[in-house]
Homo-oligomer: A and B are copies of this chain.
């Protein structure tokens, strides 16, 4: 749908729904929004962004450089509390830990996800780039496929999160929608927030876990729960849609890895992530 006014960093759905409220030093309240669910579970990248916001407040450095998350139990929409610990503070980097808990009916807390993160200041880094990585070959935005392009690709059914995202997939990686997966274990496409908010380091934590799982392209159906997800944020993203390429090389023993890379509009590799997930049964 057309946006009358483009949302901005700090004033958008994503910012409101990942807000944290300090309760006591290092402890934050949050409300997990039903707007970021896949089927009924809250998206793992959305959770990472909330934890990243809490740590950005708790630590002396603003930007997540590397975030390692271990997923413990499925999160539900509703209230949550985040408890952080400052592990080490240095001149250019600081390390913290954060856990997100939700409440059972009897008031006991259940831990949903725990992260270790090292933060720094992306704007303080030198501009040197000596990368051999090249952007993924993805057709132009208009040639990729979104939910409005008919049965292919209704990429997540009735999942609420699809209303918050503008994802358009490379036609080469959507064969699974019509029963013809490539078998390569690849997923590629364009990523933007639906309200037009540009990307920042916190929203990149959402971006790395937002596309359909590569297991679909391997011909597998069903849930691919994340066990662990580590993300490196390497540069502040430039405005405009992002390109995301995800690959799985090793499906074995009932588990698989997903390697994601995210490129911005000036062809900078702004994020790299890898997760270990349980393969569909």
Kindly report which residue of chain B lies nearest to residue A131, judged by CB atoms.
Answer: B250
Interface size range of chain A in the complex: 35 or more
- For A128, list chain B residues within 8 Å (CB): 251-254
Q: Does A153 contact B (CB under 8 A)?
A: no
Contact across chains for A249 and B111 when beta carbons are under 8 A apart: no
Partner of A132, one of B65, B249, B255, B269: B249
For the A-B complex with A129-B253, A132-B185 known, give 12 more contacts whose Cβ atoms are closer than 8 Å.
A65-B255, A72-B87, A95-B114, A114-B116, A126-B253, A128-B254, A129-B252, A130-B251, A131-B250, A131-B251, A132-B249, A234-B250
Partner of A95, one of B70, B117, B230: B70
Q: Does A228 contact B (CB under 8 A)?
A: yes
A binding-site residues for B, Cβ under 8 Å: 65-66, 68, 70, 72-73, 87-88, 93, 95, 97, 111, 114-118, 122, 125-133, 184-185, 218, 227-228, 230, 232, 234-235, 248-255, 257, 268-269, 272, 274, 276
- For A218, list chain B residues within 8 Å (CB): 130
Copy tally for this chain in the complex stands at 2
Contact across chains for B228 and A257 when beta carbons are under 8 A apart: no
Partner of A97, one of B114, B129, B228, B272: B114
